[in-house]
Amino acid sequence: MEYAPRDIEPKWRSWWKAQRTYEVSNDTRKPKFYILNMFPYPSGAGLHVGHPLGYIASDIVARYKRLNGFNVLNPMGYDSFGLPAEQYAIQTGIHPAVSTDQNIKRYREQLDNIGFSFDWSREVRTSDPAYYKWTQWIFMQLYNHYFDQEAGKALPVSGLVERFGQHGNAGLRAACDDDTPSFSAADWNAMSDNEQQLLLLKYRLTFPEESYVNWCPALGTVLSNDEVKDGVSERGGYPVERKLMKQWSMRITAYADRLLAGLDEIDWSESIKEQQRYWIGRSQGASVRFAVDGHDGASIEVFTTRVDTIYGATFMVLAPEHELVARLTTAAQRSEIDSYIKWTASRSDIERMAEAKKVTGAFTGAFAVNPFNGAKIPIYIADYVLAGYGTGAVMAVPSGDQRDWNFAKHFQLPIVPILDAQQNLDEAADPTKEGRYINSGLINGMDYEQAVATLTQWLEQQGLGKGKVQYKLRNAVFSRQRYWGEPVPAYWKDGVPHLIEEQDLPLVLPAVDKYLPTETGEPPLARADGWRYSPEGSDAIGYEYELSTMPGWAGSSWYFYRYMDPHNTEEFCSASAAAYWNSVDWYIGGSEHAVGHLLYSRFWNHFLYDTGRVPEREFAKKLTNQGMIQGRSSFAFRAKERFFEEYLWIKVLQPFFAELGPLAIPSSNLEESYTYDFAFETNDLVIEVTSWKQTDKIEAIRQAAEADGKRLLVLYNEELIENINQHEITAAKVRHALNSRERFFMSKETPAAEQLFVSLDLTSKYSTDCFSKLHVDISMVNDDVLDMDKAVYWPLFEKAGFKLNAEGRFTCSSEVEKMSKSKYNVVNPDDMVEQYGADCFRMYEMFLGPVEMSKPWDTKGITGVYGFLRKFWGMFVGEAGQWIVSDDAPTPDELRVLHTCIKKVTDDIERFSMNTCVSHFMILTNDLRTQKSSKRAILEPALVMLAPFAPHLAEELWHRMGHETTVCDASWPAFNAEYLKSDSIAYPVQINGKHRGNVEVASTASNADIEALVMAQEFVQRNLNGQPVKKFIVVPGRIVNIVA
């Protein structure tokens, strides 16, 4: 009986469901293993073949670990808040919860089809109030904590209040806003309750603050930096402006040091760690205050990583947006500064990038005073200094910094060497730290270490600066002006935020009439009736809730804990569940989340760890990035107006021109230069090519022709289309008009075709602006040839004509790009599963190549995997459907084949090399079939090994073998090296590193035996050709190399 996945797969899927095969208990003595996939956003497009790649690989690991005696947590859920559902709601009025629910159903069906071992009883959805109750709860914990630098961790704000009442904030080392004032206990106690609350916000780990955001008026929302591309929104391409808004913010900067240090503890890919390090951007240096000459009280603070170069600072540069610029600019320089500021404001990011090498700037007319030597140095502004980074000011040291050097050269500012080891300062800056300082007052003669210590100490004594560590990392904006997200559990009273009571959680999203911002620009939640909170003791009207919602990363920052204890109504996760599952052992997902999700999650996890709620500082021990599956897109070329002119010129009119002489030929500026498209020297006919819909144009040309005394032939594009594959017909029309005496020729019939597509291989004859390149659904294209029968039903090809190639076929071009519905290159797993079965689909996805690498999807090779599964099945079940597995004792050869496979597959799963596992199974099957072997002692272990890859087939054959419980609970076969031993070893023999032949040697042979045997070989002597042997190398079990 043939292998029939269509019969066996649904059967076992429902059996697993009935048996609850994949439900996992928290209560077991078994060692645990927690494997996790990044959960998907359930988009309306459904699952495509790229999604399951990581899921299949992790499912194999999950099943493998289970076979090895682990209690495996392999959960799945949905990151179900998100913008697409909201956009859809705006367009259709359908509540995002409804469309999200539908999308999830579809995802679930597709996922179920592939036979994953997910424990669906633990599914989570971030948009479920029972889930986001705890997202809100964690938000409240963050609000109620501050980061104490002394303790190196988060502590309750209640402790802070107590401390303020007794000591003020003197001596407190805590993460806080830069503008936090110093105050005494008396100051504190004299404050009103509101004033105290506002001050506490400067310490809380989440807090509202005015911050610049990327505001997109068209979308009515705030976008993150990575949602903005080239100054417009990535989605929709709407303009984005910088706007100051009150936003909730997360004080992630408090954890910068720990987030950086934690990277050393975890087995994540180096590229992700590097990206996070860069994002955190720690730099150690000093802040120095420069007085401004003639402006008492004004000072400019700079941060420098090279305080040792301060004597070489010959000018200062401020960002154009720096707050002091207006004040410092002298009357004489004002117009220059104003025009520079105006110019920089007009420059797009792209321009700034493109001209990165160009030096621009303007002098303010003011001078700063170097605190060390009192030197007055000019203050410039330039847009290479960023307002948002550091203090927005740099002390420029042209001898040590190339950018400063360029600037100094351009504005003819002095370049002062400060180290005796600096070289060639005429040509470039030299950033060395070697040598001894010169021209450097206090530190002359010192080396780098001494200089930094001396200068920093001096600055601190003088109160002019201090050693400082600075991070690029900014606090994370946490508000979104959107509807479809978690409501923030806070309300506003007299301009001060307050949390709602814990017992009132979850704060459920209210109904709104529309999902758009209000007319006054408030977020959609402002539309909700009665969106107010009435705490105990307040009047019935209550206070307005926060109107913004949480960002997408809120719910995904802790979901890995919810899977451990998904139905807990008392806690986000019980201590016992967290203690058992501990943290994620292996996390798998795309690298695009490197600094979004993966950094914010680590931040929340550090916080939860500080408050004693989770057992580990880092939530995932190991992380692997799966590569992207790219799609192969197909494109058809649609003719533009210009094509028809070129077509007439090339295919139809050439002979006529040869005869009658061309007067006008098409060119790109044809319409302006010539009245008609074509005219002849010796015939009074003129030709116009245009669409039949252009009646006004045709009439105008007709009048012009009459006035000129020309006879006019109008050829419709549409009539050319109808005869596009037989240009003789058009030629005949031209011939007829040329020879006629009539004045005006125009087709009377209304053409049926409206657009023309041109086969790829014909397009090269025409100029490139003759065509638009349009995506064609890949289901209609086979080997770049368009299936015309299918194409006619496709909306793109409505009323279309096709110019076919010489073989009468229509070809398309193709490109590899990201798989996406809008590119019509999506391959849906359902079709593959339908045709070949889930097991085959799973194995083929693995067989494509290493999981971590991106690769284009190509279905061609799937028949190879299908053939393998049929052969494997065929070792158990005969052609007539009879069971052909015997209980005979296996031969040493069969055992050797089996154990080779056990070893390789075991090793390769551990190192996530699934493609080679599939190869090993193929080799095993090919070997056993050659030996006509069907013995239970061999096939049963092989079947268990195959089970993680092809679970349905394995379950079927496992039961046919007489087992009643699931193959998932079998035991992974143990490798026995004994079976691999053989009596002889075939040594490859190299002479001077070149392979010359093989020699079969007894495995017991000594090196001397081997040498004697090898030297006796005819091919060895022949290749040595009489040369003396200098060295004879035997690598035991591997190779022999003779050096001559």
Partner RNA sequence: GCCCGGGUGGUGGAAUGGUAGACACGCAGGACUUAAAAUCCUGUGACCGUAGAGGUCGUACGGGUUCGAGUCCCGUCCCGGGCACCA
d(Cα 337, Cα 351) in Å, to the nearest integer? 20
* Distance in angstroms (rounded) separating the CA atoms of residues 979 and 973: 14
Strand partners, 243: 213
Sign of the Cα torsion 134, 263, 279, 629 reads negative
Among 993, 986, 1002, 1001, smallest CA distance to 1023 is for: 993
| Residues 976-1005 contacting RNA, CB under 7 A | 986, 988, 990, 992-996, 998
Q: How many helices (H) does the chain have, and how many strands (E)?
A: 36, 40
Q: Given phi > 0 = left and psi -120 to 50 = alpha, else beta, which region is 605?
A: alpha
**Residues touching RNA, count (CB under 7 A):** 78
With binding defined as CB under 7 A, does residue 506 bind RNA? no
Q: With respect to RNA, which residue has the nearer C-beta, 865 or 895? A: 865
Could you give the 3-state DSSP secondary structure of residue 294?
coil
Q: Which of residues 309-348 bind RNA (CB under 7 A)?
A: 319
Among 210, 267, 355, 1000, binds RNA (CB under 7 A): 355
- Binding positions for RNA, 264-283, rule CB under 7 A: 270-271, 274-275, 278, 281, 283
Smallest gap from residue 669 Cβ to RNA (A): 33
Q: Which stretch binds RNA (CB under 7 A): 247-255, 259-267, 858-866, 1007-1015?
A: 858-866
Shortest Cβ distance from residue 1031 to RNA (Å)?
6
Q: Is the four-CA dihedral 807, 811, 813, 816 of positive or negative sign?
A: negative
Contact between 299 and RNA per CB under 7 A: no
836 binds RNA (CB under 7 A): no
Q: Show the site string, 788-827: x = touches RNA by CB under 7 A, - = not.
A: ----------------------------------------
Closest CA to 628 of 588, 591, 587, 586: 591
Is there binding between residue 633 and RNA (CB under 7 A)? no
Helices (H), 801-881: 829-836, 838-847, 862-874
685 or 953, CB closer to RNA?
953
Q: Which residue has the tokens 């070697």?
A: 434
Closest distance of CB 850 from RNA, Å: 4
Closer CB to RNA, residue 523 or residue 631? 631
Instruction: Find all residues with CB under 8 Å of 707, minimum gap 6, and list them.
Output: none
Of 653 and 848, CB closest to RNA? 848
Binding mask 759-778 for RNA (x = CB under 7 A): --------------------
Backbone dihedral region for residue 963 (phi beyond 0: left; psi -120 to 50: alpha; all else: beta): beta
Please tell me whether residue 868 binds RNA under the rule CB under 7 A: yes
What DSSP string runs through 220-280? TEEE-GGGEETTEETTT--B-EEEEEEEEEE-GGGGHHHHHHHGGGSB--HHHHHHHHHHH
Assess 1024 for contact with RNA (CB under 7 A): no
| Residue 353 interacts with RNA (CB under 7 A): yes or no | yes
Told to check if 485 binds RNA by CB under 7 A, we report no
- Pick out residues in 591-610 that bind RNA (CB under 7 A): 591-592, 594
In the complex, least distance from residue 303 CB atom to RNA, rounded to whole angstroms: 5
Nearer to RNA, 743 or 871 (CB): 871
Residues 117-156 that bind RNA (CB under 7 A): none
Closest approach of RNA to the CB of residue 391, in Å: 7
The CB density around residue 414, as the number of other CB atoms within 10 Å, is 11
Quick one: 460 or 513, whose CB is closer to RNA?
A: 460
Among residues 384, 411, 448, 458, the one that binds RNA under rule CB under 7 A: 384
The residue (of 358 and 765) whose beta carbon lies closer to RNA is: 358
Q: Is 254 in the site for RNA (CB under 7 A)?
A: no
For position 260 contacting RNA by CB under 7 A, the verdict is no
Residue found by looking up tokens 């029309």 in the block: 733
Tokens (6 digits) for 208: 């509202």
**Position 974 contacts RNA (CB under 7 A):** no
The minimum distance between CB 202 and RNA, in angstroms, equals 23
Q: Which stretch binds RNA (CB under 7 A): 163-171, 379-387, 478-486, 674-682?
A: 379-387
Query: Cα–Cα distances in Å, from 14 out to 11, 19, 830, 969?
Result: 6, 8, 18, 17
Q: Is 949 in the site for RNA (CB under 7 A)?
A: no
Which of 126, 626, 634, 1023 is the binder for RNA (CB under 7 A)? 1023
What share of residues in the chain are helix, strand, coil (percent, to 5)? 40, 20, 40
C-beta of 623 vs 791, nearer to RNA: 623
Encoded one letter per residue, x for contact with RNA by CB under 7 A and - for no contact, window 427-466 reads ----------------------------------------
Q: Is 941 in the site for RNA (CB under 7 A)?
A: no
> For RNA, which residue of 285, 487, 566, 666 counts as binding (CB under 7 A)?
285
Contact between 910 and RNA (CB under 7 A)? no
Is the alpha carbon torsion for 92, 98, 104, 109 positive or negative? Answer: negative
Do the Cβ atoms of 971 and 67 come closer than 8 Å? yes
Nearer to RNA, 50 or 487 (CB): 50
Q: Which of 225, 346, 461, 1025 binds RNA (CB under 7 A)?
A: 225
For the packed helices 914-930 and 892-910, what is the interaxial angle rounded to 10 degrees?
170
CB neighbourhood size of 372 (10 A): 20
Q: Which residue has the tokens 């409505």?
A: 798
Nearer to RNA among residue 537 and residue 993 (C-beta): 993
User: Under 8 Å CB-to-CB from 752, ≥6 apart: which residues?
Assistant: 718, 722, 799
Tell how strand 153-156 and strand 206-216 pair up.
Answer: unpaired
Min dist. Cβ of residue 941 to RNA (A): 20
Least spacing, CB of residue 247 vs RNA, in Å = 19
Which is closer to RNA, CB of 4 or CB of 1039?
1039
Q: How far is the CB of 791 from RNA (least distance, A)?
A: 23
Q: In the bound complex, what is the minimum distance in angstroms from residue 313's beta carbon to RNA?
A: 9
The Cα angle at residue 481 between residues 479 and 486, in degrees rounded to 5: 60
Question: Could you say whether residue 468 binds RNA (CB under 7 A)?
Answer: no
For residues 395 and 369, what is the distance between their CA atoms, to the nearest angstrom?
11
Q: Is the Cβ of residue 99 or residue 1041 nearer to RNA in the bound state?
A: 1041
With tokens 């005073």, the residue in question is 369
Residue 392 lies near RNA (rule: CB under 7 A): yes
Among 385, 897, 938, 999, binds RNA (CB under 7 A): 385
Q: Which is nearer to RNA, 265 or 355 (CB)?
A: 355
Q: What is the dihedral of CA 425, 431, 437, 442, to 10 degrees?
A: 120
Tell me how far apart the alpha carbons of residues 265 and 623 are, in angstroms, rounded to a whole number: 12
Only one of the segments 255-263, 476-484, 647-655, 867-875 lies at the binding site for RNA (rule: CB under 7 A); that segment is: 867-875
Q: Tell me if 311 sits within 8 A of 417, measured CB to CB.
A: no
User: Pattern of binders to RNA over 574-593, x per CB under 7 A?
Assistant: -----------------xx-
Q: How far apart are the first and last CA of the chain?
A: 60
* Residue nearer to RNA on the CB measure, 120 or 458: 458
Taken as a whole, the chain contains a residue count of 1044
* SS3 labels along 316-347: EEECCCCCCHHHHCCHHHHHHHHHHHHHHHHC
- Is there binding between residue 53 and RNA (CB under 7 A)? no
The HSE-up count of residue 828 (CA atoms within 13 Å, CB side) is 15
Task: Closer to RNA by CB, 190 or 986: give it.
Answer: 986
Task: Write down the least CB distance from residue 312 to RNA, Å.
Answer: 12
Q: Is 34 in the site for RNA (CB under 7 A)?
A: no
741 binds RNA (CB under 7 A): no
